[in-house]
């Protein structure tokens, strides 16, 4: 799960891209990068680390220009420690393209082979984002050469995107800065990864920003315009003229359900759904599960901060139980789920959360979390809460059991990493040392989000039920993906 930005403005964009990336930092802490363009010259700076650590004044000064793209990286494929895999990526043919991508392709190996043997393009990293960039670059070149006067128009660019959709499978939301022409954004035909268009008045019309989440707009003075539809492409030339085109005939809106559970910020609105309201409503349905499946001896309800707070609040209200903040978060430690490496995640839990002893002592506590994935964090927290003095420790998850790998942009590539794989809720409780565990029903979770936007046709729920939208995932594929991740 990464965060991407694109911007065309009447003024320099470097500071606003930086500010927008800060608002998307929760989506990736591994690397950050910005590419701007001035006349026909690209300025690119990227490196491993958080946004505030990557960019210095001298870097920002060099990022001149009134259009740009930006990226924060959360590694799902490739080598997380290799700075060459930080984005934006760049190719110089045709025209020069700077490119940022959020998601994960499922036919990367096939595409990379075709690029080398048929399209005569070289891929220099393990990143599927570089593959996607080169597929687009090749299709744009083909589209231009097919025109009578070998020129670029919006129609030609949209023709290239249509060709990309035919070749590529998986989840992808992308922004591309095309030298001499403008900013392109496009989204996969299922709309698995989010992509949102905003605008702001200027003296001659509008400035435009494209972002993974609407929170970037509030930090930069933009207003929400619309979600880019599945299969749709948006092109903004450097004069600020906007064009839109549906580039896939049978697109359907199936956003990733995990965005609403965990990844997105609560103050975001994605595909017409308030993330905060969705999480409140998750607490209502979860309250019924707690009432039916756990003993009625709970004294207090506490969230595992921060993502689960809205759900925990509503759960406590519906059960008429006290809500307390017993775990205090150190805000200078990153999100443990998206940290690379099991040992790193385990070590960071104690640094990240500190218990208030008096809130736990001699009480039966229900902890509420957004989800339980690997179980490492949950086990450490339960142990810490017991040590602090709790009599009983229950755990409620606002998401269903995560039983299957996700291949569309979430870093859970193997079955063995998932604590719910092959275990029921009683066995999971035993594994993490809890007195009981409750999980949200998948159907209830889907209903909660769809109720806030009935136009959503379905969801990517593959990590919960093993149903993959692209129809190309089997055990052999998952094994290859795991092996590749170990090599890169």
**DSSP string covering 80-145, please?**
TT-GGGSS-EEE-SSS-EEEEEEEEES-HHHHHHHHHHTS-----SS-HHHHHHHHHHHHHHHHHH
List every span in the chain annotated with CATH 3.60.20.10.
3-254
pLDDT higher than threshold 80 for residue 481: no
Please tell me the distance from the alpha carbon of residue 5 to that of residue 131, in angstroms, as a whole number.
Answer: 19
The count of other CB atoms within 10 Å of the CB of residue 359 is: 19
pLDDT higher than threshold 90 for residue 74: no
Q: Lowest mean pLDDT: which of 37-46, 408-417, 443-452?
A: 408-417
Output the six-digit token pair for 414.
């193997």
Please tell me the distance from the alpha carbon of residue 417 to that of residue 424, in angstroms, as a whole number.
Answer: 16
Q: Are 427 and 210 in contact (CB under 8 A)?
A: no
Report the pLDDT value the prediction gives residue 274, as an integer from 0 to 100.
98
Count of H helices and E strands in the chain? 17, 21
**What is the percentage of the chain residues whose pLDDT exceeds 90?**
85
Q: Lowest mean pLDDT: which of 225-239, 326-340, 389-403, 419-433?
A: 326-340
pLDDT higher than threshold 80 for residue 130: yes
Please tell me the distance from the alpha carbon of residue 141 to that of residue 149, in angstroms, as a whole number.
Answer: 13
Q: Catalytic one among 2, 66, 126, 463?
A: 2
- Report if pTM > 0.95: no
Q: Are 180 and 95 in contact (CB under 8 A)?
A: yes
Average pLDDT over residues 48-67: 96
The separation between CA 252 and the C-alpha centre of its own chain, rounded to angstroms, equals 19
The count of other CB atoms within 10 Å of the CB of residue 45 is: 20
Q: Are 216 and 199 in contact (CB under 8 A)?
A: no
Give me the architecture of the 3-254 domain, per CATH.
Answer: 4-Layer Sandwich (3.60)
Average pLDDT over residues 11-30: 96
Helix, coil or strand: residue 45: strand
Report the pLDDT value the prediction gives residue 343, as an integer from 0 to 100.
55
Name the helix (H) or strand (E) containing 380.
Answer: helix 376-388
Edge-to-edge, what's the strand order for the sheet holding 41-48? 41-48, 31-38, 67-73, 3-8, 205-211, 196-202, 223-227
Which residue from 448, 326, 331, 466 is spatially nearest to 399, judged by alpha carbons?
Answer: 448
Please tell me the distance from the alpha carbon of residue 271 to that of residue 459, in angstroms, as a whole number.
Answer: 12
Is there a catalytic annotation at residue 2? yes
Q: Are 339 and 73 in contact (CB under 8 A)?
A: no
Report the pLDDT value the prediction gives residue 346, as an integer from 0 to 100.
52
Sequence-distant (≥ 6) Cβ neighbours of residue 320 within 8 angstroms: none
Please tell me the distance from the alpha carbon of residue 350 to that of residue 344, in angstroms, as a whole number.
Answer: 11
Q: Average pLDDT, whole number, for the chain?
A: 93
Q: Are 86 and 53 in contact (CB under 8 A)?
A: no
pLDDT digits (tens, 9 = 90+) for 143-162: 999 998 888 999 999 999 99
Concatenated DSSP letters of 274-343: EHHHHHHHHHHHHHHHHHHHS-S---EEEE-TTTTHHHHHHHHHHHT--B---EEE-TTS--GGGSSSHH
Residue 344 pLDDT grade (very low, low, confident, very high; cuts 50, 70, 90): low
Report the pLDDT value the prediction gives residue 479, as an integer from 0 to 100.
83
pLDDT digits (tens, 9 = 90+) for 181-219: 999 999 999 999 999 999 999 998 999 999 999 999 988
Please tell me the distance from the alpha carbon of residue 53 to that of residue 44, in angstroms, as a whole number.
Answer: 16
Report the pLDDT value the prediction gives residue 317, as an integer from 0 to 100.
98
Average pLDDT over residues 467-483: 87
Average pLDDT over residues 248-272: 96
Report the pLDDT value the prediction gives residue 80, as an integer from 0 to 100.
56
Q: Which residue has the higher pLDDT, 349 or 236?
A: 236
Which residue from 445, 436, 437, 438 is spatially nearest to 465, judged by alpha carbons?
Answer: 445
pLDDT higher than threshold 80 for residue 81: no
Report the pLDDT value the prediction gives residue 488, as an integer from 0 to 100.
55
- Fold classification of 278-330+340-452 is Rossmann fold (3.40.50)
Token pair 């179980």 is found at 375
pLDDT digits (tens, 9 = 90+) for 279-335: 999 999 999 999 999 999 999 999 999 899 999 999 999 999 999 999 998 877 655
Which residue from 96, 85, 68 is spatially nearest to 4, judged by alpha carbons?
Answer: 68
pLDDT higher than threshold 80 for residue 227: yes
Q: Lowest mean pLDDT: which of 73-77, 264-268, 341-345, 377-381?
A: 341-345
Q: Which residue has the higher pLDDT, 90 or 339?
A: 90
Please tell me the distance from the alpha carbon of residue 298 to that of residue 248, in angstroms, as a whole number.
Answer: 51
Output the six-digit token pair for 243.
């064009």
pLDDT higher than threshold 60 for residue 169: yes
Residue 340 pLDDT grade (very low, low, confident, very high; cuts 50, 70, 90): low
Q: Lowest mean pLDDT: which of 269-273, 305-309, 379-383, 484-488?
A: 484-488
pLDDT digits (tens, 9 = 90+) for 361-411: 999 999 999 999 999 999 999 999 999 999 999 999 999 999 999 999 887
The count of other CB atoms within 10 Å of the CB of residue 341 is: 10
Average pLDDT over residues 27-48: 96
Output the six-digit token pair for 51.
């946004």
Name the helix (H) or strand (E) containing 425.
Answer: helix 425-432
Q: Are 191 and 271 in contact (CB under 8 A)?
A: yes
Sequence-distant (≥ 6) Cβ neighbours of residue 400 within 8 angstroms: 439, 440, 441, 442, 445, 464
Residue 478 pLDDT grade (very low, low, confident, very high; cuts 50, 70, 90): confident
Residue 339 pLDDT grade (very low, low, confident, very high; cuts 50, 70, 90): low
Report the pLDDT value the prediction gives residue 437, as an integer from 0 to 100.
98
Specify the DSSP class assigned to residue 451. Answer: H
Which residue from 178, 179, 175, 243 is spatially nearest to 209, judged by alpha carbons?
Answer: 175
Average pLDDT over residues 85-107: 96
């Amino acid at each position: 799960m990464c965060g991407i930005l694109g911007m065309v403005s009447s003024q320099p964009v470097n500071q606003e891209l930086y500010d927008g990336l800060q608002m998307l930092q929760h989506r990736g802490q591994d690397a950050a990068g910005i590419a701007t363009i001035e006349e026909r010259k690209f300025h690119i700076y990227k490196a491993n680390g958080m946004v505030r650590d990557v960019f210095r004044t001298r870097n920002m000064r060099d990022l001149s220009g009134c259009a740009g793209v930006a990226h924060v990286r959360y590694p799902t494929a490739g080598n997380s420690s290799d700075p060459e895999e930080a984005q934006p990526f760049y190719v110089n043919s045709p025209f020069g393209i700077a490119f940022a991508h959020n998601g994960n392709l499922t036919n990367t190996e096939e595409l990379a082979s075709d690029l080398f043997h048929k399209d005569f393009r070289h891929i220099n990293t393990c990143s599927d984002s570089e593959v996607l960039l080169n597929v687009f670059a090749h299709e744009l070149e083909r589209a231009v050469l097919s025109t009578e006067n070998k020129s670029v128009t919006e129609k030609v660019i949209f023709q290239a995107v249509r060709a990309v959709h035919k070749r590529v499978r998986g989840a992808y939301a992308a922004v591309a800065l095309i030298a001499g022409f403008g900013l392109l954004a496009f989204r996969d035909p299922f709309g698995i990864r989010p992509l949102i268009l905003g605008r702001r008045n200027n003296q001659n019309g509008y400035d435009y920003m494209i972002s993974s989440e609407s929170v970037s707009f509030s930090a930069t003075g933009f207003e929400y315009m619309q979600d880019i539809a599945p299969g749709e492409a948006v092109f903004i030339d450097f004069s600020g003229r906007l064009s839109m085109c549906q580039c896939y005939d049978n697109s359907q809106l199936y956003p990733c359900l995990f965005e609403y559970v965990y990844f997105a910020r609560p103050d975001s609105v994605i595909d017409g759904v308030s993330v905060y309201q969705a999480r409140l409503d998750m607490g209502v349905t979860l309250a019924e599960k707690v009432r039916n499946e756990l003993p009625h001896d709970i004294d207090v309800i506490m969230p595992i901060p921060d993502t689960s707070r809205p759900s925990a609040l509503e759960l406590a209200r519906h059960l008429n139980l006290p809500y307390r903040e017993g775990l205090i978060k150190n805000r200078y430690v990153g999100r443990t789920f998206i940290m690379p490496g099991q040992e790193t995640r385990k070590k960071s839990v104690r640094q990240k959360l500190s218990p208030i002893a008096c809130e736990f002592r001699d009480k039966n506590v229900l902890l509420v979390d957004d989800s339980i994935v690997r179980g490492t964090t949950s086990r450490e927290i339960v142990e810490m809460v017991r040590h602090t003095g709790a009599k009983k420790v229950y755990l409620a998850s606002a998401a269903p059991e995560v039983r299957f790998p996700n291949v569309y942009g979430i870093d859970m590539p193997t079955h063995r990493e998932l604590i719910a794989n092959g275990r029921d809720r009683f066995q999971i409780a035993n594994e993490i040392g809890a007195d009981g565990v409750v999980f949200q029903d998948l159907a209830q979770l889907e209903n909660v989000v769809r109720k806030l936007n009935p136009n959503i046709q379905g969801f990517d729920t593959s990590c919960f039920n093993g149903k993959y939208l692209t129809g190309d995932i089997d055990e052999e594929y998952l094994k290859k993906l795991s092996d590749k991740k170990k090599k890169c």
